[in-house]
Structure 1
Amino acid sequence: MASSSDKKPPVAKKVKHEMKMFDDVRVDNYYWLRDDSRSDPDMLHYLNQENAYTDYIMSGTKNLEDQIYAEIRGRIKEADISAPLRKGPYYYYERTLEGKEYKQHCRRLVQNAGSVPSVLDVMPTGPEAPPEHVILDENEKAKNHVYYSIGAFKVSPNHKLVAYAEDTKGNEIYTIHVMDAETRSPVGEPLVGVTDYFEWVGDEALVYITMDEILRPYKVWFHKLGTNQSADSCLYHEKDDMFSLDLEASESKKYLFVGSESKTTRSIFYLDISKPENGLMVLTPRSEGIDTSVSHRGNHFFIKRRSDETYNSELLACPLDDVNAITTLIPHRDSVKIQDVILFSDHLVVYEREKGLPRVTFYSLPAIDEPLQSLQGGQAVEFVDPVYSVDPAESQFSSSILRFYYSSLRTPPSTYDYDMNTGVSVLKKIETVLGGFDASNYVTKREWAIAQDGTQVPISIVYRKDLVKLDGSDPMLLYGYGSYEVCVDPSFKSSRLSLLDRGFTFAIAHIRGGGEMGRKWYENGKYLQKKNTFTDFIDCAEYLIEKKYCTKDKLCINGGSAGGLLIGAVLNMRPDLFKAAVTRVPFVDVVTTMLDPTIPLTTAEWEEWGDPRKEEYYFYMKSYSPVDNVKAQKYPAILVTTGLNDPRVLYSEPAKFVAKLRELKTDDNVLLFKCEMGAGHFSKSGRFEKLQEDAFIYTFILKILNMVPALA
């Protein structure tokens, strides 16, 4: 086998492109790589060269990659169903089939539809049970497409029709199809060029949202089934390009709520489903720095509101007919952030965060016709792992059953039904992990690193206790994100076992810029404090080395999208600290992208990163932008991935990053670039195709650490 040095890496041509601002000149020799049509022959030739080089360098470890892929796939129970959810006269669930990439959407009649739902309910499946009906088989729909994804699947209130949003390119531009749930025959013509935000208005109409030329959701439409899309009426047009629209139905299914939001401000319109002819009405008017979201029950709207003063949010209520008659149900608390609110006919469930961990608290509500007062005596659901993830499921509004999804770094995804009247909790489904998996073999824990400014930064950790020695000799994969107030809670990923079972420790650095520790945690990692995100990650890495979880020569890092920005930034800042880095669909050309309002999502992002048209932000962003800070120094081994059709981070950003690294870096360490030519931001669409990406990344890491078996 030829050595990797026998084939030279691709060299992108250099075409000088100067960009001047504030008497500052930036030279981008690889600006030409951006082609909005994605059809430029020179650009495609370069990407194909990079893919061929990556294939060549990794060809010697193909056996190991195949082995890891077989391991990962072998843990999956390929033929399975999700925990059925009772809605009206049916149980709804999803089914996966052996060997099939995509799922089926199914339902089965409830035998005693008039009974009161119970946590002890079990969907009958025997020969005497009502037959299963497959409403939609994604495998059939995906046959003629390289990429296939359904963004939303919603049944009409009378359960006779289904609407679903379909993306066949990975560019997140959807087509909404409506069909008869029983016969699967189409109803009317599809709605094209739309988002996956849509809701039913009764059984004969939809409300949906479309995007402008930069993919900003900006118009709300009303569509009556059986009419042409061109005849649809526009309910609202958001003309401010800093704001985007979203749409959701109330748990009671009596109202639709349209949110108009920037990164700091959110206002709400509502549509009374019983009176759609009245159009959208203002519920919470736009006020700079005020962020609201709304639910409904009985005679009241419930409003979660955040402001500069109530930065972790408060929960309010107001009568339907007097939105100014505010009652504070849960006041603002400095140490507890209200993440989400789910309403039931007799209960209120609040998903909160404290000390970096999620919690679920529920309250009993007075009768619908009684006045609402400050809530007291909330009860918390107990969890067993020291670090974990818990997420809300759809409200079963008229029942007392709270469904939630639980997971930890050692606990597979689990669906629970919890009866808020009795306190009885029932595990309805836990993801089967084949291959002899035993959760007791793994240790999960939380550590706290001390950042440069004294801030304590939480780290979630998992390792296999019989393999990891904690003497500095163990390999580690450290993950980070740290943007958009996203909470990266510790959750299970069965493919990760292929690293853990080879003696790796896996850790998540919950750095500032995320939302794990509350709103201030986010605000202290954005704008002119964005570098806290990067220095926190470096401090976490050094802490883990100090505590002998690994050494520099065994430390690998991973992040994607805005987490790819993180990886790119820390590689420039501290390349000596890491052995290998994987950065997926990375946002690395910060200044150039944020100066171009024609790029999808840019205008809305000014409130996340800052507006570089302002001098202070320009120079601050330039000081950390990965492409702008690549320099002549040694870098660790690096793998960069992207998707040609990505609408969120243009493929050209990572392409330019790689080209500039090839030009300037002074080491001989491996640098690979892999571009999926038929995928978008979220890689390939099939469930097994996604596993191939994990297998490839893990093989790369093992190769760099010299952990490839001799026969691989």
Structure 2
Amino acid sequence: MQFPTPLLVLVLAMTAPAFAQTLPPPPDAARQAHVVKAPHGAERVDEYYWLRDDKRERPEVLGYLNAENAYADALMAPLKTLEDTLYREIVARIKQDDSSVPYRERGWWYYSRYVAGQDYPVHARRRAADGVDAVSIQAANDRGDFAGEQILLDVNALARGHDYYAANPVAVSQDNRLLVWADDTNGRRQYTLRFTDLDSGRTYPETIAGTSGDAVWADDNRTVFYVENDPDTLLTTRVKQHVLGSDPATDPVVYEETDDSYYMGVDRSRDDRYLVIVLDSTVSSELRYTPAAAPGAFAVLAPRERDVEYDADHFGGRWVIRTNADGATNFKLVVAPDGADSRAQWQDWIAHDPQVYIEGFELFDGFTAIAERSQGLERIRIRKRDGSEDYVKADESAYSMGIDVNAEPDTTWLRYGYTSLTTPEITYEVDVASGKRRRLKQQPVPGYDASKYVTERVWVPARDGKARIPVTLVYAKDFRRDGTAAMLQYGYGSYGLSMDPNFNATIVSLLDRGMVYALAHIRGGQELGRAWYDDGKLFNKNNTFTDFIDVTRWLVEHKYAARDRVAAMGGSAGGLLMGAVANLAPDDYRVILSQVPFVDVVTTMLDASIPLTTNEYDEWGNPEASRASYDYMLGYSPYDNLKPQAYPAMFVGTGLWDSQVQYWEPAKYVARLRDLDTGTHPVVFRTNMEAGHGGKSGRFRRYRERAEMYAFMLDQLGVAAR
């Protein structure tokens, strides 16, 4: 058996005086023949299958990952000064003692704040009183005046002694006394629920491990309903009921989902009348509900049907439901009476519009706020009780706008967020009665001057002639479109997730060095409605990849960037995008940044034991059940389509404990890439040995990771100093 390059050899090589000039060779992973079989007789040889270790403990696997990390250290050592510079620039744009805009709920103002120099938030609240509002609390926080504050969770204290830590308050009981909260110590997103008495600060002895981190209180302030995870697949399979003070091992199951293509969550209705179980697959939904005051059996609002999706809320004695039923591809709003149990009782309220995608809604006493998308941009429609309508105004041509936290419905004020690639996020409130708008807060970005940058929206024709792809650009005001600039292009294009042009303080360092940043709103997202998503999934998935390439070529042709100075970036399903475009168009990209990439599509989707696989069949296809799906997916799977050719420089990152994309996918991908790449550009493979899908915990650690990637990219693109 051929073992990976020993870590000791790499370390010794790195200590040589001239290691920057005489780098050790990249790790050479062992090759072992392994046949991956599909039910329809198809077979593939996967020589790096052995890198899969579900328990993350085999010495030869950990040895290879550590060897790759040591090689990455050696390769990046000459860029340490640049990395440190970028890190300092990014951190300097963070107001280290910032706090969120407080929101009011049941007599308390809730918010989160950071302490200068610390990684994690402090979650806290203050009692509502005359003269106390969101603005006054923010002002007190800015002064460092925390008198009267009650701390819910100090995550900095909780995180001590952990390499990875994440914790968040889940729900406060209706009497405001008890908190259920969740923490995760390895990034696998399998949470432990804990309980704290907020009056005394005492944490209850019982804990509930193996949950999704989702829970809701009943009205008795003693009973909690929570969602349990399967320990292997991480599927949300059961809702259980826990009474505070009892043994969690005896908690009864109140609902069990037998279809493993569904995700599950729990919540309370807007009017607090019902506890609800929300079940969603890619193409179907179901909601079950029970009275919060006297929980019993959960009734079904409308039985699930394939290709019928809905989400619902209860307020004002009726259900309001967002659905794509009856051909409403872009969704519509319907209403149903209290006690409804089938679609036959639904009545249309807000009609379907093929040009406008309804994304969500929020119910108030005198109006409804409706989140919509049209022409690739977000907007908020206000529909008053008398049927009159208006729209919240936007200030730029390319922006992102969304409904914010509005915990209490008995108000005329709607809170929403607004941002763009040049505008740090602003939290506004608008009075729907008078139209008056007030700014509660803008994200502070020390040293940043928005007037020095320009954002632009362009439309790129797709090669199939069926679509125009929206692209949002940002660059410095003194940028000259002469075809010489370097560019970073970002994309995702899956699950109907829209990549909105939100402000990102990290890219300012790129703009200040003359780069262009391009956000490609490719098919597979939902920026242009549901059809935009449908045209980028299943047997249309290749549109996602060709759209991204078409955007690159158009921007180069129109002189936004030099052909040999283009970088591409994507993560998770966006990492699949990166792998696909590297195979399809390697000459169009000088460097590719790929984070936690989903690159071994077929093998993963053939294995139902891997977390979340069965939930994904309607996104990618089921290669086990369908030979056509198998063949189509095999045609674009990045790992399977690596071939002898010159590839761009690459920075590939993963987390050992990633629950969404298992670490072995990028590990196998890099090992095979090293075998087949005929070019000379470097490949960095960085495994975070303590992290999961979201990277390292703590705000500063994440910025250090981003600085390392940016340093690699800037060096490969030949970008001059700031």
TM-score range relative to shorter protein: over 0.9
Superposed displacement of residue 111, structure 1: 2.3
Deviations 1:628-672 (A, max 9, x none): 000000011011000000011000000010000000110111111
Query: 2-side partners of 1:474 and 1:182: how far apart?
Result: 59
Superposed displacement of residue 112, structure 1: 2.2
Alpha-carbon contact 1:189-1:226 (below 8 Å) kept: yes
Deviations 1:461-489 (A, max 9, x none): 111112x2111111100000000000110
Alpha-carbon contact 2:323-2:331 (below 8 Å) kept: yes
Query: 2-side partners of 1:501 and 1:108: how far apart?
Result: 41
Q: 1:352 aligns to what?
A: 372
- Three-state SS of the structure 2 residue aligned to 1:496 is helix
Query: 2-side partners of 1:535 and 1:308: how far apart?
Result: 32
* Mean Cα deviation higher: 293-302 or 82-91: 82-91
Q: 1:696 aligns to what?
A: 708
Q: 2:533 aligns to what?
A: 522
Query: 2-side partners of 1:677 and 1:393: how far apart?
Result: 35
Q: 1:110 aligns with which of 128, 140, 144?
A: 128
Q: 2:292 aligns to what?
A: 273
Query: 2-side partners of 1:419 and 1:260: how far apart?
Result: 34
Q: 1:492 aligns to what?
A: 503
Q: Does 1:647 align with 2:659?
A: yes
Alpha-carbon contact 2:170-2:214 (below 8 Å) kept: no
Q: 2:645 aligns to what?
A: 633
Q: Does 1:68 align with 2:79?
A: no
* Mean Cα deviation higher: 224-233 or 28-37: 224-233
Q: 2:697 aligns with which of 685, 690, 693?
A: 685
Superposed displacement of residue 188, structure 1: 4.7
Query: 1-side partners of 2:135 and 2:63: how far apart?
Result: 59
1:204-219 aligned at under 5 Å gives the runs 204-212=222-230, 213-219=232-238
Q: Does 1:458 align with 2:470?
A: yes
Deviations 1:488-507 (A, max 9, x none): 10001111111111111101
Q: 1:57 aligns to what?
A: 75
Alpha-carbon contact 1:106-1:135 (below 8 Å) kept: yes
Deviations 1:220-257 (A, max 9, x none): 11111111112222111001112221222222222222
1:289-438 aligned at under 5 Å gives the runs 289-307=307-325, 309-323=327-341, 324-365=344-385, 376-395=387-406, 396-435=408-447, 437-438=448-449
Alpha-carbon contact 1:110-1:123 (below 8 Å) kept: no
Query: 1-side partners of 2:405 and 2:172: how far apart?
Result: 13
* Mean Cα deviation higher: 196-205 or 675-684: 196-205
Distance 1:145 1:288, change over 3 A: same
Q: 1:507 aligns to what?
A: 518
Q: 2:49 aligns to what?
A: 31
Q: 2:460 aligns with which of 449, 456, 467?
A: 449
1:178-327 aligned at under 5 Å gives the runs 178-202=195-219, 203-212=221-230, 213-276=232-295, 278-307=296-325, 309-323=327-341, 324-327=344-347
1:537-556 aligned at under 5 Å gives the runs 537-556=548-567
- Three-state SS of the structure 2 residue aligned to 1:607 is helix
Residue identity in the other structure for 2:513? R
Identity percentage of aligned residues: 39
Query: 2-side partners of 1:661 and 1:5: how far apart?
Result: 22
* Mean Cα deviation higher: 207-216 or 485-494: 207-216
Distance 1:646 1:535, change over 3 A: same
Q: 2:193 aligns to what?
A: 176
Query: 1-side partners of 2:643 and 2:705: how far apart?
Result: 29
Query: 1-side partners of 2:89 and 2:326: how far apart?
Result: 49
Unaligned runs of 5+ in 1: 367-375
- Three-state SS of the structure 1 residue aligned to 2:301 is strand
Query: 1-side partners of 2:260 and 2:125: how far apart?
Result: 41
Superposed displacement of residue 77, structure 1: 0.8
Deviations 1:304-337 (A, max 9, x none): 1113711111101111034543321101110111
Superposed displacement of residue 345, structure 1: 2.1
Residue identity in the other structure for 2:665? E
Residue identity in the other structure for 1:239? T
Q: 1:669 aligns with which of 681, 685, 706?
A: 681
- Three-state SS of the structure 2 residue aligned to 1:453 is coil
1:88-107 aligned at under 5 Å gives the runs 88-107=106-125
Alpha-carbon contact 2:23-2:75 (below 8 Å) kept: no
Q: 2:542 aligns with which of 508, 518, 531?
A: 531
Query: 1-side partners of 2:281 and 2:616: how far apart?
Result: 9
Q: 2:672 aligns with which of 624, 646, 660?
A: 660
Query: 2-side partners of 1:386 and 1:452: how far apart?
Result: 26
Q: 1:85 aligns with which of 103, 107, 110?
A: 103
Distance 1:502 1:382, change over 3 A: same
* Mean Cα deviation higher: 389-398 or 587-596: 389-398
Cα RMSD (Å): 1.8
Residue identity in the other structure for 1:637? A
Q: Does 1:138 align with 2:149?
A: no
Deviations 1:279-305 (A, max 9, x none): 211111111111010111121010111
Query: 2-side partners of 1:111 and 1:80: how far apart?
Result: 23
Superposed displacement of residue 2, structure 1: 3.5
Deviations 1:520-549 (A, max 9, x none): 110111111100000000101111111101
- Three-state SS of the structure 1 residue aligned to 2:669 is helix
Unaligned runs of 5+ in 2: 1-17
Query: 2-side partners of 1:4 and 1:284: how far apart?
Result: 67
Q: Does 1:165 align with 2:176?
A: no
Alpha-carbon contact 2:169-2:179 (below 8 Å) kept: no
Superposed displacement of residue 124, structure 1: 7.0
Q: 2:12 aligns to what?
A: none
Query: 2-side partners of 1:357 and 1:128: how far apart?
Result: 39
Alpha-carbon contact 2:20-2:78 (below 8 Å) kept: no
Query: 2-side partners of 1:130 and 1:272: how far apart?
Result: 38
Q: What TM-score results when the alignment is normalised by the length of structure 2?
A: 0.94
Residue identity in the other structure for 1:301? W
Residue identity in the other structure for 1:231? T
Superposed displacement of residue 392, structure 1: 2.3
Residue identity in the other structure for 2:152? I
Alpha-carbon contact 1:289-1:308 (below 8 Å) kept: no
Superposed displacement of residue 20, structure 1: 3.5
Distance 1:151 1:528, change over 3 A: farther
Q: Does 1:155 align with 2:161?
A: no
Distance 1:16 1:299, change over 3 A: same
Query: 2-side partners of 1:505 and 1:680: how far apart?
Result: 30
Alpha-carbon contact 2:184-2:191 (below 8 Å) kept: yes
* Mean Cα deviation higher: 697-706 or 476-485: 697-706
Query: 2-side partners of 1:697 and 1:48: how far apart?
Result: 18
Distance 1:319 1:307, change over 3 A: closer
* Mean Cα deviation higher: 195-204 or 92-101: 195-204
Distance 1:308 1:322, change over 3 A: closer
Superposed displacement of residue 583, structure 1: 0.5
Superposed displacement of residue 707, structure 1: 2.9
Residue identity in the other structure for 2:112? E
Alpha-carbon contact 1:152-1:196 (below 8 Å) kept: no
Query: 1-side partners of 2:37 and 2:603: how far apart?
Result: 11
Number of equivalenced pairs: 695
Distance 1:152 1:534, change over 3 A: farther
Distance 1:129 1:704, change over 3 A: closer
